[in-house]
Structure 1
Amino acid sequence: MATLDIVIAFGVRLLLVLLFLPFSAADKIFNFRGAVGQAREAVHATAPAVTLILIGVCVEIGMSLCILTGFCDRAAAFVMAGYCGVTALLWKQFWKPGDFWAGGEGRALFWDFLKNFALAGGFLLITFGTGASSVQGFLADPLSSTHPYSATREARP
């Protein structure tokens, strides 16, 4: 039964990070100019846009690897939840294109906006679990691991 637990834990984590590693990170790397162009829509200057994209690549690769390996996975998931929220607010601004109810770009952005926050919720489940007491445990030791692949998983503080 322990093997099935490990496979499920890895599979769920892989599904959560699959969008970021490899796809979004690779897209930013191989289409760097396009990514910087999109970032310039939010910050209007090249240097900060390049910085944002480089930070994004580092977050998407580094935090995804931490979540997959279980190394400081709670902190990494917390960072990814924030990343999803920030990117939704900066690049999925469904309220800007015009009449939401008429359809078009605003409606498509709305669904992308919600998807980002749904992903954030998934990452927060790794961070905090489902119990209120685990929030205290995270705050007490934010770099702790959930030990997702341990045969005898430790209880969360």
Structure 2
Amino acid sequence: MATAGIPLGATAELAGRVLLASLFVIEAADKLWDTGGALRYMAAYGLPAALLPLAIAVELGCGIAILLGWRTQIAAFLLAGFCFLTALIFHADLAQRAQQIQLEKDLALAGALLILAARGAGRFSIDARLT
């Protein structure tokens, strides 16, 4: 199916990448603007402060890479692992419905990112231009 000469699939791939990437870029920005809050949240789960720069780098770097469609498969794979770890570390309290929903969301994001890692960025990407 095509829309004005542009394949609908390629447009959907781009829209999907933008939506996925925006979540991680926004979350990284939130951590940068409220570093103290992010550090307190991590400390509540027993994580060292030294991990915060790594979390920001992964979310921001991989988010931007996916947004641009550059080294998308690597970035998506890294973020899938990030989401999986986030689910297990921060949302494992299944007695709380809100935490269960967050766990499910993070696992679903990991699944979507694994699909992106397997399929690649699509037509409207730097990756496509380089190949």
The offset of 1:146, in angstroms, is 4.3
Find out whether 1:26 has 2:25 as its counterpart.
Answer: no
CA distance in 1, matches of 2:99, 2:109: 15
Tell whether the 8 Å contact from 1:70 to 1:148 is kept in structure 2 after alignment.
no
Letter in 2 for 1:26: A
The offset of 1:29, in angstroms, is 0.7
Tell me what 1:136 maps to. none
CA distance in 1, matches of 2:7, 2:70: 19
Find out whether 1:79 has 2:78 as its counterpart.
Answer: yes
Larger radius of gyration: 1
Letter in 1 for 2:123: P
Letter in 1 for 2:32: I
Q: 1:9 aligns with which of 10, 13, 36?
A: 13
Task: Compute the TM-score of the two structures, normalised by the length of structure 2.
Answer: 0.82
Tell me what 2:64 maps to. 65
CA distance in 1, matches of 2:121, 2:31: 30
- Of all paired residues, the percent bearing the same amino acid is 32
Q: 1:128 to 1:6 in 2, by over 3 A?
A: closer
Q: 1:40 aligns with which of 38, 43, 50?
A: 43
The offset of 1:93, in angstroms, is 2.0
Q: What's the secondary structure of 2:70's corresponding residue?
A: coil
CA distance in 2, matches of 1:33, 1:108: 23
Q: 1:122 aligns with which of 84, 90, 112?
A: 112
Tell whether the 8 Å contact from 1:88 to 1:116 is kept in structure 2 after alignment.
yes
Tell whether the 8 Å contact from 1:84 to 1:120 is kept in structure 2 after alignment.
yes
Provide the aligned C-alpha RMSD in A. 2.1
Q: What's the secondary structure of 1:66's corresponding residue?
A: helix
Task: Compute the TM-score of the two structures, normalised by the length of structure 1.
Answer: 0.70
Tell me what 1:108 maps to. 98
| Length, aligned pairs only | 123
Letter in 1 for 2:44: E
Letter in 2 for 1:87: T
Q: What's the secondary structure of 1:43's corresponding residue?
A: coil
